[in-house]
Amino acid sequence: MRWSEPCISVIIPTFNRAPVLERAIQSVLKQEYRHFELIVVDDCSQDNTGCILKEYQNSLQAVRHPFHCGVSAARNTGILRAKGSYIAFLDSDDEWLPSKLSRQVRYLQLHPHFKVLQTEEIWIRNGRRVNPGKKHAKPEGYIYLKSLPLCKITPSSVLIHYSVLQETGLFDVTFPACEDYELWLRITSRYPVGLVKTKELIKYGGHNDQLSRTTPCLDRWRILALLRAIADGNLNNRETYRTWKEICSKTQIYVQGCRKHGNIQDWHFFEGILQLAQEKLATFNIL
């Protein structure tokens, strides 16, 4: 194996996804690029996930959580067991095309300064192919500012050098949703992100167990992620200003929702954050 072909640790977190898990596993095993290990973390599934993993026991490493801990903890378990120099994530309801890893490795060979990269993707919603909107367009390079309104990185499309996670930390298990948004803010404030401009991922959506459907008030967690990005101390002056501006915008909307639905605790807490954001913005002389 040539030095230019790194070992990739592929991590699939799963919870009660037996009907689609095998599709995800097969899409990894059919990769043209062969220098990888596959780690599937079963987050205490109660369906027949265990039976499926047993069928593939010679092709992957299966880890089972004794308690249901959430997708962040499952991904972190996989990361901590990984032996590869690069990490790739695949959600158990998504699917890779066979050329996914090979094209990403080729990209790294041509652009060795990148330590984080993703690919374009195909969206399937409720069984039908849909086109992502313009706001979902994937940028490349230093994308922190472009990532503030909404998440610009898809976990299932990412390839990331292990050293990046050693520096920035792993997924925050206290976030029940937007955990990827929070991590990508930490990463994009430090590293440029490469983009393979071919569609190498099929991303399925519309099913009832998606976090975007099961977790209310997603902006609550986006606001907290933005506050953490500022507290992290890695932003320049312009990035800090734009982050406070985004906090102000998101918090105004969230506070209005809290008032409307009688969420008194969050209403008062986030009103304090809104006031802080407005005070911070008043100290900047940036247009």
Q: State how far the alpha carbon of 132 is from the alpha carbons of 55, 92, 129, 232, in Å.
A: 36, 21, 10, 31
Q: Whole-angstrom Cα distance, residue 15 to residue 91?
A: 10
Taking residues 93-101, report their average pLDDT. Answer: 98
| Host H or E run for residue 118 | strand 116-125
- Complete DSSP assignment for 237-270: HHHHHHHHHHHHHHHHHHHHHHHHHT-HHHHHHH
pLDDT band at 205 (very low <50, low <70, confident <90, very high): confident
Residue 207 has what pLDDT? 60
The reply to whether 250 and 164 lie within a common domain is: no
Query: Of 231, 259, 257, which is closest to residue 244 (Cα–Cα)?
Result: 231
198 with 227, same domain: the answer is no
In a domain, 286, yes or no: no
% residues pLDDT > 70 (the chain): 94
Q: Which amino acid is at 253?
A: I
Please check whether residue 3 lies inside any domain of the structure.
no
Residues 50 and 124 in one domain: yes
Domain assignment present for 213 = no
- Is the pLDDT confidence value at 1 over 60? no
Confidence of residue 217 (pLDDT cuts 50, 70, 90): confident
Asked which of 208, 238, 269 is the last residue of a domain, the reply is: 208
CA-to-CA distance for 100 and 187, rounded, in angstroms? 22
Per-residue pLDDT for 209 more than 80? no
Q: 150 and 107: one domain? A: yes
How many structural domains comprise the chain? 2
CATH code assigned at 76? 3.90.550.10
pLDDT band at 3 (very low <50, low <70, confident <90, very high): very low
Are 168 and 64 found together in one domain?
A: yes
pLDDT at 226 over 80: yes
Does the pTM surpass 0.85? The reply is yes
Residue 136 lies in domain: 8-208
* DSSP bridge partners of 200: none
**Domain end marker among 157, 175, 208:** 208
Same domain as 254, residue 146: no
Q: Choose one of 208, 238, 263: the last residue of a domain.
A: 208
276 burial (CB, 10 Å; 0-12 / 13-18 / 19+) is middle
For position 115, what pLDDT does the model report?
98
Residues 72 and 201 in one domain: yes
Range with the poorest average pLDDT among 37-41, 196-200, 206-210: 206-210
Q: Are 153 and 255 members of one domain? A: no
Residue 164: pLDDT over 70: yes
